[in-house]
Chains A and B, each alone.
Chain A
Amino acid sequence: MWEWILIFVVVIALVIIVALFFSYYNRIITLSNRIDNAWAQIEVQLKKRADLVPNLVETVKGYMAHEKKAIEMVTKARERMMGAQTVKDKMDAGVELAAAMKTIFALAENYPNLRASENFKLLQEQLDGIESKIAYARQFYNDSVLAYNNAITTFPGRWFAKRMGRTELKLYFEAAEKERTVPKVTF
């Protein structure tokens, strides 16, 4: 009789441990996938911003012909962006491109006709939108990283993560807050 109770208890305990393992395994994988997805969302927005460049150059060229340097800078930054392969390259190129585009919009202050053109206004709204989307996508990325890091460092998730070989903490986007200030051209 006692043996049966003992076996019963052991079996129940085993079932609970296996169920826990499954649930933690799935949770850690889900959270890790969410980070990949968050990164993909940032990439989409970075690409959209780069795609604005040809249109921007086309619009600006006629008005500010002798600002060749600035225009060249944007085109170069875009090329670098398109060629970037690693995450770090993409991030660096993204920062460079953002700076180059900001320069163009700042220079545009000296050209009232350009500022008044419908095309330019639309471009500006689009850039504003993309910049804030990049900031939001980064925020989601960092939230996802926080959730993942919490899951693999707190108990008992920590114990399961170790068995899964997932002990390495994911890194945050440092520039997140700085990027939230949208380049604003005053009229």
Chain B
Amino acid sequence: MQRVSFYDQISKNKRNSVLLVIPITAMVVGLLYLIGYLFAPELAFLMVLFGLFWMAMQAMISYQYGDRAVLSVMKAKPADPVKHVYLINTVEGLSLAAGIPPPKVYVIESEEINAFAVGRDPQHAAVGVTTGALENLNRVELEGVIGHEISHIRNYDIRFMMMIAVFVGFAAILSYLLLRGAFFAGGSRRRDERGGGMAALLILMGLILAVIAPIATRLVQAMISRQREYLADASAVELTRYPEGLASALEKIMNKNSGKMEVSEAISHLFFTDPKRSPLDNLFTTHPPLAERIRRLRQM
């Protein structure tokens, strides 16, 4: 097997992420235009503008308040400066290695081995681990896991995924509107006679798009998320200079975790590994398979 340097992996992952944003944006713009076309053809362009503006507003709100909401949903408690001194030291050490200010440290009461990172930028970030992780992982393994979360912060992954979630949610709303609109507008459309084959084709395309878009954007979202996980693994190795630590932490997770952590679907992508595991959702899962992550780490 050819060895891949972590610098190569980082640049490759960044490129892939950017490439994946394009189809999502295209789909949202397409949906907006078709809705406009269906309801008020003269204002279709305005509709696109208004929609994008609306989306930007939504993105701003989750940008400002997203992390606080997430922390309270997770039932994360601030780490105790005496009891968790070792954890706090590890987080501070790795943030020094990454050259970012030390994030706040949280602990979640749970048997499962897991960790998470939130925050829009390195200045407003927090890292948390489960009590299960503190009990089961040794020093190098914990360093690997924390390194992974610190990398998410340094690479601005959390902000990036938050923005994508806004896009995906918006696409779902739009396609719902389009499908409803098609039933109501379908009858009246025929009266104005300027339709012809072209208009019918557009409407048909719109309907197809409306059905496909929510699924397709979810798929792309999951793909981007998986890319980012690989990237964070590679960056964690850049920080700890020890791939085996992270690999053996992942192995422990594979053997010990039951995959039944009580976490809402909406925030599961923020975690180190999927809190809930089911064999059916391979396409939609936000995390790559553990075995593949371990394989890539051992290859470095």
Contact = CB atoms under 8 A, between A and B. Distances in A.
Contacts of A133: 89, 92-93, 96
B287 to A, nearest CB: 27
Given A133-B92, A136-B93, A136-B94, A126 B99 contact: no
Contact of A136 (B86, B88, B97): B97
A34 B85 contact: no
B236 interface: no
B96 A140 contact: yes
Contacts of A140: 96-99
A72 interface: no
A122 B84 CA distance: 11
Contacts of A122: 82, 85
Interface in B48-99: 82, 85-86, 88-90, 92-94, 96-99
Interface string A118-141: 000010011011001101110110
Interface in A136-150: 136-137, 139-140, 143-144
Nearest to A125: B85
Classify the secondary structure of B's interface with A.
helix
A101 interface: no
B82 to A, nearest CB: 8
A46 to B, nearest CB: 13
B85 A38 contact: no
A112 B97 CA distance: 36
B7 to A, nearest CB: 11
A139 B97 contact: yes
Interface in B263-297: none
B89 A132 contact: yes
Interface string B228-244: 00000000000101000
A137 B90 CA distance: 12
Contacts of B82: 122
A129 B93 contact: yes
A129 B85 contact: yes
Contacts of A139: 97, 239, 241
A41 interface: yes
B89 A128 contact: yes
A136 B94 CA distance: 7
A133 B97 CA distance: 8
Contacts of A37: 99
A143 B239 CA distance: 10
Contacts of B241: 139
Contacts of B94: 136
Contacts of A125: 85-86, 89
B85 A132 contact: no
Nearest to A41: B96
B130 to A, nearest CB: 21
Nearest to A118: B82
Contact of A34 (B90, B92, B98, B99): B99
A149 to B, nearest CB: 15
A137 B96 contact: yes
Interface string B89-111: 11011101111000000000000
A181 B88 CA distance: 19
A2 B82 CA distance: 77
Interface-centre pick from A38, A140, A144 (highest chain B CB count, 10 A)? A140
A182 to B, nearest CB: 10
A69 B239 CA distance: 39
Contacts of B239: 136, 139
Contacts of A126: 85, 89
A70 B248 CA distance: 40
Given A135-B93, A140-B98, 4 more contacts: A129-B93, A132-B93, A136-B96, A139-B239
